[in-house]
Structures are given as C-alpha cells and as structure tokens.
Amino acid sequence: MTAQPCLTNPPEGMAIHPKRPCSALYLHVPFCLQKCPYCSFFSLAGKNHLQPLYAKAVSMQIRQTASNCANESCRLETIFFGGGTPTLLPTETLARLLGDCLNAFPVAADKKLEITIEANPATVDKNDLTILRLAGFNRLSIGVQSLTELELALLGRPHTALDARQTFSDARQAGFTNINLDLMYGLPGQRIADWRYNLEQALALAPEHLSLYELTIEEGTPFAEQVRRGSLRLPAEEDVLAMLEETKTLVRQAGFRRYEISNYGRSGFQCRHNINYWQNRSYIGLGPGAVGCLNHTRYTATKDIEQFAEHIAAGKPIWEDEEHLTKEERFRETVIMGLRMTSGISIAGLQKRFGIDPLAYYGPTLDRLIRQGLLHHDNDHLCLTDRGLLLANMVMAELV
C-alpha cells in the first residue's frame, strides 16, 4: 500500500521543470473499514461521511495540479489509486476521479498506460469491478494478506479466504488480465507449512503478480505494543528464512521472476509504477496524507480531510512538510532504492545522473560488503547477492 501527493500552488521553484520529467501519478484514498493492528499507513476508519468532501476536493486538486504541470515535463505512464481501501469509495466516484486524471494530464503516446487500483476482498463485486475496468483501470491489486481464517482474524482483516477467492474470480470475469495479490508471511504463530499452504493457494488462482511481504512491526501500532508486552510472538528467524526458501522454489516453479525484494511477476507484468519509485524518479501525488517528490523536494499533504478540502478550495498550500534533498541525499536514496531490485544499479547510470562514482563514494564500506558476499560487483553492475537479499535491511543501513 503506497501513498504519494501533488502540487497545488507550488512554492517558488517547485513548478515541474521540463528537464526533470514526471511520468507517475499516485492518488491516495485514506478510507478503511477498520484499522489493521499492523498498519502504519495513513488511513481512517469510520469516516465514510467525509467521502463526498474528499472526492470534491481531490477533483479540484487534479485540475489545479495539472495547470501547474508544463506539458513538456509531464507525460503519464502510470496511475495508481492506493490507500487505505480505494474501493470503499463509490465505484462511480472512482471512475470519475480517474476520468478527471486522464482528461487533465497528458499521457505518454509511446507506452500503454498502466492504471492500478488497490482493492480489499468483499469491498467490490463483479458489477463494481466491471465498471472500474470500463473506466480504464487495467491492473488490480487485491489485499489478500492470508488465505487462512485464523491468520485473517489475527491480522484484523474484515474478509474471509472465500471472499478473497470470490473477488479474484469476479475480477477475471470483469476483464482484468493483470492482477496482483498481496500476501504476508512471518506472522505470529505461523509455521512453514502454513505459509506454504497460503502461497500454494494463491498460486492456484494464477495471478500475474505477487507482492509477498514479511510482517514488520511498526512503531505506534497495536502489534508493536503487543510485542513490547510479550503477548505477540513472531516466528524464529530460521523459520522466516525457511519460508523465503519455500517462496523461491514455489514461485519459480509457477513461472514467476523475483524482480524486487518483495515482488514477483510473470514476464511482462512487473509493476511499472513501483519501479518508478525504486528508481527514485519523480512522482505526482494527490489526496490528503499523500507523499510525493518533484524537483528534488519531497512533500507531504495534510492528513486532515476537512483542512485539505478547505485549503484546496481557497487555493492555499496543503503541505504539512517539505524536505529539500541535496544531490548527495538523492544519490544515496537512489542507491538504496535501486538495490531493492534484483537487477541492481548501473554505476555509469549513477555517474551520469549525479556525477558521483559509487565505488569511490562508498569506498571501504562497499569493498567490505562485497567481501562479505552481500553485494556483487560486475563491471557496470552492482546488486545484492542472494545472501544480501536476505539481509537487505542491514546492507541498506551501511549505505544510507
């Protein structure tokens, strides 16, 4: 679940520059049925009465933002509606907001537009999905998380395994030919056999893409408090590693290729929108609480929907935070994000983009990580090894 924002009355120097093009747009929908105990993303439960206000404000933001984007610099190749649970909005509202985006922003003529919407099981039926497909959404990401009832209850998910299978079937009948399933492993009490069952059941549905995430305990969540009290016990590290080994075997046999630490796709079905993030490129974002990056500045929109709507209507800035990134900061972020991908990073590409040689910049640190078998260096190529992928967080901490 991703979140990124956009420019309404950008500060001085923040207009999109033709030399720094933007091809990705993210629209954040913060509404949820209920807050999951592991989730640290910005989302709101029990606030559906704010949906009309939200939709009106975001529609206005789309038009305002597009007017600030020079045609030469903005050619959309991907659009992503994320959350929260976007499909809690009325289907007609989602279709209208996508139509607003397509009418307001220029689209790259030489590439097929990838348009993703996240959905949770049991929040849409076949009719809803048909409307979304006809509106232009051509990639669906379903937040399944688990296909066993005990795990779904533990995760606070308001759907069943049957709901997940039904949503997938409905999506196929609605015409979606590019479907991602989100699953989580390393859950409290989860055994290797439990994870194998989940993954086998997901693969039996024959999706085009899988996002497989290890549960991480985020500060400020109910799970973090339960871990602190000792009432939530996670699997041992060796069991989690065994789950990853099971994953490698099963997804390879099913014809998937791992192209990022947590993402696996059939040939031609890698998520182009997320690749834009991992390449640390610019992205436009829309909606309250969204985070985006344009012209070397990362900005965050206010999370207060009513304040967001009020400021949009008045033409006032909506940013609650702006971070201006230096060249070195952008370089380091590009290295760290790029190494998440199994293809790694191009040394010549980094030098061309930033004028910095990573081999000289990181020096002894890079040499040590290579000697330890965590990174592989081959001519112009630098990537995580199989061992490095298992210890990616430790490697990234060395390079930050």
Over the stretch 372-391, which tens digit does the pLDDT of each residue have? Answer: 999 999 989 999 999 999 99
Which pLDDT score, from 0 to 100, does residue 38 have?
84
Question: Do 201 and 342 fall into the same domain?
Answer: no
Distance CA(264)–CA(276), nearest Å, equals 16
Which pLDDT score, from 0 to 100, does residue 74 have?
82
Hey, what are 270's tokens?
């890698």
Q: Is residue 7 part of a domain?
A: no
Whether the per-residue pLDDT at 24 is higher than 80: the answer is yes
How many whole angstroms from its chain centre is CA 262?
Answer: 11
Say which residue, 73 or 326, is predicted with more confidence: 326
* Tens digits of residue pLDDT in 169-224: 999 999 999 999 999 999 999 999 999 999 999 999 999 999 999 998 888 888 88
Which pLDDT score, from 0 to 100, does residue 217 have?
87
Q: 242-256 burial string, b = 16+ CB within 10 Å, else e?
A: bbbebbeebbeebeb
Question: Do 84 and 222 fall into the same domain?
Answer: yes
How many whole angstroms from its chain centre is CA 217?
Answer: 18
Cβ neighbours around 116 below 10 Å, total: 23
Q: Is residue 331 part of a domain?
A: yes
Say which residue, 319 or 4, is predicted with more confidence: 319
Whether the per-residue pLDDT at 10 is higher than 50: the answer is no
* Tens digits of residue pLDDT in 39-85: 887 888 889 999 999 999 999 999 998 887 754 478 899 999 999 99
Which pLDDT score, from 0 to 100, does residue 12 have?
27
The CATH number of the domain holding residue 346 is 1.10.10.920
Whether the per-residue pLDDT at 15 is higher than 70: the answer is no
Q: Is residue 318 part of a domain?
A: no
Question: Do 274 and 332 fall into the same domain?
Answer: no
Question: Do 259 and 368 fall into the same domain?
Answer: no
Residue at which a domain ends, from 213, 248, 278: 278
Q: Is residue 337 part of a domain?
A: yes
Question: Do 346 and 270 fall into the same domain?
Answer: no
Which pLDDT score, from 0 to 100, does residue 1 have?
38
Q: Is the previous residue joined to 84 through a cis bond, with omega within 30 degrees of 0?
A: yes
The proportion of the chain whose per-residue pLDDT surpasses 90, expressed as a percent, equals 80
Question: Do 339 and 265 fall into the same domain?
Answer: no
Distance CA(374)–CA(391), nearest Å, equals 8
Residue at which a domain ends, from 213, 245, 278: 278
Question: Do 236 and 360 fall into the same domain?
Answer: no
Q: Is residue 307 part of a domain?
A: no
Question: Do 339 and 197 fall into the same domain?
Answer: no
Whether the per-residue pLDDT at 6 is higher than 50: the answer is no
Helix, strand, coil: what percent of the chain each, to 5? 40, 20, 35
Question: Do 334 and 273 fall into the same domain?
Answer: no
Q: Is residue 285 part of a domain?
A: no
pLDDT range class, residue 329, cuts 50, 70, 90: very high
Q: Is residue 174 part of a domain?
A: yes
Which pLDDT score, from 0 to 100, does residue 3 have?
35
Residue at which a domain ends, from 221, 244, 278: 278
Total domains present in the chain: 2
Q: Is residue 309 part of a domain?
A: no
Cβ neighbours around 285 below 10 Å, total: 28
Q: DSSP readout, 1-60?
A: -------SSPPTT-SPPTTS-EEEEEEEE-EESS--TT--S--EES-GGGHHHHHHHHHH
Which pLDDT score, from 0 to 100, does residue 70 have?
54
Distance CA(6)–CA(318), nearest Å, equals 9
* Tens digits of residue pLDDT in 335-360: 999 999 999 999 999 999 999 999 99
pTM of the model: 0.91
Q: Residue 173 is part of which domain span?
A: 22-278
Question: Do 110 and 230 fall into the same domain?
Answer: yes
Say which residue, 277 or 13, is predicted with more confidence: 277
The proportion of the chain whose per-residue pLDDT surpasses 70, expressed as a percent, equals 94
The CATH number of the domain holding residue 75 is 3.80.30.20
Signed CA dihedral, 64, 69, 75, 76: sign only: negative
pLDDT range class, residue 246, cuts 50, 70, 90: very high
Distance CA(123)–CA(110), nearest Å, equals 34
